[in-house]
Amino acid sequence: MADQANDSRRTLVAGNWKMHHDHLQAIRTVQELGLRLDPVDLKRVEVAVLPPFTDLRSVQTVLEDRSIPVVLGAQHCHDRDSGAFTGEVAAPMLARLGVRYVLAGHSERRLLFGQDDAQVGAALRAVLRHGMVPVLCVGETAEEREAGRTEERLSDQVAAAVQGLAEEQVAGMVVAYEPVWAIGTGATATAADAQAACAHVRGRLAAAASGDAAASARILYGGSVNAENTAELVGGPDVDGVLVGGASLEAASLAGIVAAAATVRPAARR
């Protein structure tokens, strides 16, 4: 499907900080990132950081004040715009902070906090409703993989989340293929497996929306990504970037991943 791709598929490197870095550490990290990123690489690669909620305002201010070309993201949101939902954060609150990307259905939310497909789909729609870009996270567990059910699991997760979306909504979204067994474990999918899974996801987007929409959507790989394995992973024609956890916490490491991703031509222009 890669040959149908168009220019919308600029490589994306997104750093998911999870529950790491208070706002002071976050400020220091993005300041250092601003110094380390090479402007030439940023012509090919878009960089986003997804800090904890308490850091968003501080990071937004630093990025703006210093004109650091890094985009702001968030890790989760509730599907309702306001209400009695203690501990939750609403999509319009994130939009007001200049957030562009919001994860929907990260495996840690699904497995540790019981988020189901229906909640993921509703949160994804809230993100779209407020003009931001959802990053739908999908991926199989080790047991599902061993049982040969990887594609089935990915199909189910994608279909549940994108069912009924307009073609242009699918075209503008990001999906992150993150095998659960590879997250935070040091075990990375092979580049061939990552490519096969991302191609499968793209096929499901095509089935749910259209071939054109699927060819415009960006599909990332995530799971123990680092500067050493990035170029090979992003080399897959259906792999449009990486979602990085642990290796995104230090500016030097994240900048190394961006530099590695920039050595690969985006699929759209291959």
Determine the Cα–Cα distance for residues 62 and 68; give it in Å rounded to an integer: 8
Q: For ligand PGA, which residue of 244, 254, 261, 268 counts as binding (CB under 6 A)?
A: 244
Nearer to ligand PGA, 29 or 224 (CB): 224
Q: 265 to each of 201, 213, 241, 261, 268, how far by Cα in Å? A: 21, 21, 11, 8, 8
Under rule CB under 6 A, residue 246 binds ligand PGA: yes
Q: Does 229 bind ligand PGA (CB under 6 A)?
A: no
Q: Provide the minimum distance between the beta carbon of 253 and ligand PGA in the complex, in angstroms, as a whole number.
A: 11
d(CA 107, CA 203): 21
Q: Taking CB under 6 A as the rule, does residue 224 contact ligand PGA?
A: yes
Residue from 106, 130, 140, 144 carrying the catalytic annotation:
106
Question: For residues 174-203, which are near ligand PGA according to CB under 6 A?
Answer: 178, 183-184
Q: H-helix or E-strand containing 44?
A: helix 41-44
Query: Looking at 46, 108, 144, 178, which residue is catalytic?
Result: 178
Least separation in angstroms between CB 256 and ligand PGA: 14
Question: How far is it, in rounded angstroms, from Cα 93 to Cα 157?
Answer: 26
d(CA 244, CA 188): 12
As beta bridge partners, residue 74 has 102
- Does 222 bind ligand PGA (CB under 6 A)? Our answer is yes
| Candidates 27-35, 109-117, 239-247, 251-259; binding stretch for ligand PGA (CB under 6 A) | 239-247
Distances from the Cα of 203 to the Cαs of 80, 122, 141, in angstroms? 30, 22, 21
Site for ligand PGA, residues 42 to 101, rule: CB under 6 A: none
Active site positions, annotated = 106, 178
The residues that touch ligand PGA, with contacts defined as CB under 6 A, are 16, 178, 183-184, 222-225, 243-247
